């Protein structure tokens, strides 16, 4: 029989090594995904990033105030260019809103695809961990039986059964329909 592993500075360091490795893998995957983005995705992301900044807010405020000042005739030596009070401003703002919302949606769709991939990875890891834990419970139960350690049978039988994800999903769907 093998003795239990001793917790030493080295084993704690190896855990940090695993974490460090995982962080590096995730960083590399993010960089690869960033490089694989299409030109349209990169443009949409850049526009969304800029339009979601305070620089954009201040620039927008300054341009709107300048438009107001010029078209109200407040700026000496500059003729108003919007013949109808702010109709062109409203049209420009509407067109801008259409394009900005489209760029935001493009960026959100790409981010949702990435989130869906992470969710799928999480699910796969959770299912693997559940299966491994179920096997460990069965092994501990077998060891307990060999050593004649009393354990509550009804709980163990349930814990030793693998969870069928499709059955859980079906039950969730049925609950949602109720």
pLDDT in tens, 70-119: 998 899 999 988 888 788 999 999 999 999 999 999 999 999 998 999 99
Whether 134 contacts 159, CB under 8 Å: yes
Note the pLDDT of residue 75.
92
Distance CA 174, CA 171 (A): 5
Distance CA 40, CA 34 (A): 12
Please name which of 56, 85, 58 lies closest in space to residue 70, comparing C-alpha atoms: 85
Task: Report the percentage of the chain scoring pLDDT > 90.
Answer: 40
pTM for this structure?
0.62
Whether 103 contacts 44, CB under 8 Å: yes
Note the pLDDT of residue 11.
52
Lowest mean pLDDT among 11-20, 63-72, 99-108, 132-141: 11-20
Domain boundaries, the chain: 11-51+82-177
Distance CA 144, CA 55 (A): 66
Whether 98 contacts 89, CB under 8 Å: no
Note the pLDDT of residue 82.
85
């Amino acid at each position: 029989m093998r003795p239990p592993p001793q917790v030493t500075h080295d084993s704690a360091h190896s855990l940090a090594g695993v974490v460090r490795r995982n962080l590096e893998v995730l960083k590399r995957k993010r960089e690869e995904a960033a490089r694989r983005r299409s030109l349209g995705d990169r443009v949409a992301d850049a526009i969304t990033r800029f339009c979601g900044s305070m620089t954009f807010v201040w620039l927008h405020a300054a341009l709107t105030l300048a438009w107001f000042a010029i078209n109200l005739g407040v700026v000496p030596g500059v003729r108003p260019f919007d013949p109808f009070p702010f109709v062109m401003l409203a049209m420009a703002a509407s067109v801008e809103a259409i394009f900005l919302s489209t760029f935001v949606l493009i960026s959100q769709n790409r981010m949702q695809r990435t989130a869906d991939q992470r969710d799928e990875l999480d699910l796969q890891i959770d299912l693997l961990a559940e299966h491994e834990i179920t096997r460990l419970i069965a092994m501990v139960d077998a060891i307990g039986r060999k050593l004649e350690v009393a354990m509550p049978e009804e709980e163990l039988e349930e814990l030793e059964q693998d969870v069928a994800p499709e059955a859980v999903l079906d039950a969730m769907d049925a609950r949602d329909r109720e």
